[in-house]
Amino acid sequence: MSVTTTHVKRAFKYRFYPSDAQAAELSRTFGCVRKVYNLALQARTEAWVMRGERVGYSATSAMLTAWKKTRELAYLCEVSSVPLQQTLRHLQGAFGNFWAKRAKYPTFKSRKKSRKSAEYTTSGFRFRDGRLTLARMTEPLAVVWSRPLPRQARPSTVTVSQDAAGRWFVSLLCDDRPAIPAPANAAVGIDVGVTSLVTLSTGQRIANPRHEPRERERLARAQRDLARKAVGDGANRAKARLKVGRVHARIADRRRDFLHKLTTRLVRENQTIVIEDLSVRNMLRNRRLSRAISDAGWTEMRSMLEYKAGWYGREVIIVDRWFPSSKLCSACGTLQGGMPLNVREWTCGCGATHDRDVNAAKNILAAGLAVAACGDGVRPQRSTPGGQSSVKQEVVPTAAPRAAAQPRG
């Protein structure tokens, strides 16, 4: 029998089909949001470089009021002011992350490359009887409600976006009380890879679906068509760019769907999940493997595991990236010497023969359970979205754990 948790914030994303007037209004809004963000970023950068002064949200909000009164930027008054204020708050958050050394310095938004989006708070939209109407619009959006919202849902924010394939989406952030499945006694260690996307400590392998290679020929053909279009050839180049975007969107949708199904199953079936902290950014520098690593989506999978663990009351433990999971014998704890990637099976001096990936998953599980139990070398990880208390710990083993540390039950 399942129980419910405290309220969590969940975003529900739907596709919609705007009318010509709505599409034009939203496109103007996207442009104004990008312009205000860039102006505020420039103003804050100049204030810091020239005067050593930190400019906050309140100051940029006052600047926005002044910009609207100028002749050059009077068009900012033609769209809703809510998304413009929200982009200033987003810039404030970006600077907060920079000063806290969680992110790099904010960069300017590009008209061609940046994500087209606008966020509306409660004063900028009306949601009644399943009909969503944005500010400055008379007709509700034609949303395809592919799944139900929580009962008596009252969205706190609405984010409208358009992807590179030209598709329109709306995301509603709502309070939810997700049902928690019955506690599971199982614990699992996960080793990620390229050939097998996931190898579990139970010995189960989940093959990498390799979504990008399936579409590689179609993608290459679309990119060649785009390369043949001269810069400045407006309509034709835009059509060719849209074809490339559609292929990329098809790949991303398939990958995301597969990862959602996989992570949901892992979280529902296991109370404790132990994974390795991989430096994917550094691994992408390997020119032979970078394409396959990008297609695998390891970072996205870890993110899904973390926030879903928060929803369902599970625990995620992160093992330090320098832990020698592949070279450690899960039977006797002996650490082997160098082991190149082409070695997929090896035999320890104790006589145990190991599959490289299964052995690594067993060691990851043992390390997570052992160190989490004794509390040695454990550092707290970032909190989950919505402030949920799913336990995330980064495990830095001080000694090689033996295989005796097995999950109970």
State pLDDT tens for residues 209-246. 999 999 999 999 999 999 998 877 678 998 999 999 99
**3-state DSSP assignment of residue 360:** helix
* pLDDT value, residue 331: 84
Q: Which two tokens stand for residue 50?
A: 């020239």
As a whole-number percent, the residues of the chain with pLDDT over 70 amount to 89
* pLDDT value, residue 330: 84
The answer to whether residue 355 is catalytic is no
CB-based burial, 59-91: b 16+ in 10 Å, e otherwise: bbeebbeebbeeeebeebeebbbbbbbbbbebb
Q: Which residue has the higher pLDDT, 15 or 277?
A: 15
Longest Cα–Cα distance of the chain, Å, equals: 81
Q: What is the mean pLDDT of residues 294-316?
A: 91
**Mean pLDDT score of the chain, rounded to an integer?**
86
Residue with tokens 């975003």: 11
CA 9, CA 156: separation in Å to the nearest integer? 9
Residue with tokens 């093959």: 207
Give the torsion sign (CA, 154, 1, 269, 365): positive
CA 311, CA 5: separation in Å to the nearest integer? 8
Asked if residues 12 and 171 have their Cβ atoms less than 8 Å apart, the reply is yes
Position 315 pLDDT exceeds 80: yes
Asked if residues 219 and 247 have their Cβ atoms less than 8 Å apart, the reply is yes
User: Tens of pLDDT along 23-33?
Assistant: 999 999 999 99
Burial degree of 280 (CB within 10 A; 0-12, 13-18, 19+): middle
* pLDDT value, residue 289: 87
Position 34 pLDDT exceeds 60: yes
- Please pick, among 25, 212, 306, 357, the residue that the annotation labels catalytic: 357
Q: Name 307's Cβ contacts closer than 8 Å, sequence gap at least 6.
A: 384, 385
Q: What is the mean pLDDT of residues 18-47?
A: 97
Q: What is the mean pLDDT of residues 348-363?
A: 87
The answer to whether residue 215 is catalytic is no
Which of these ranges, 10-14, 152-156, 164-168, has the smallest mean pLDDT? 152-156
Q: What is the mean pLDDT of residues 346-355?
A: 83
CA 265, CA 33: separation in Å to the nearest integer? 39
Q: What is the mean pLDDT of residues 146-167?
A: 92
- Please pick, among 25, 176, 191, 295, the residue that the annotation labels catalytic: 191
Which of 294-300's residues contact partners 24+ apart within 8 Å by CB, and which partners?
294/212, 295/208, 295/210, 295/211, 295/212, 295/213, 295/251, 295/255, 296/192, 296/193, 296/194, 296/197, 296/208, 297/255, 297/256, 297/259, 298/192, 300/255, 300/256, 300/259
* pLDDT value, residue 68: 96
* pLDDT value, residue 87: 97
Position 92 pLDDT exceeds 90: yes
The answer to whether residue 176 is catalytic is no
Residue with tokens 């509390």: 375
- Please pick, among 176, 276, 295, 306, the residue that the annotation labels catalytic: 276
CA 269, CA 191: separation in Å to the nearest integer? 17
Position 2 pLDDT exceeds 70: no
pLDDT-based confidence at residue 5 (cuts at 50, 70, 90): low
Asked if residues 180 and 390 have their Cβ atoms less than 8 Å apart, the reply is no
Supply the DSSP symbol for 104. Answer: P
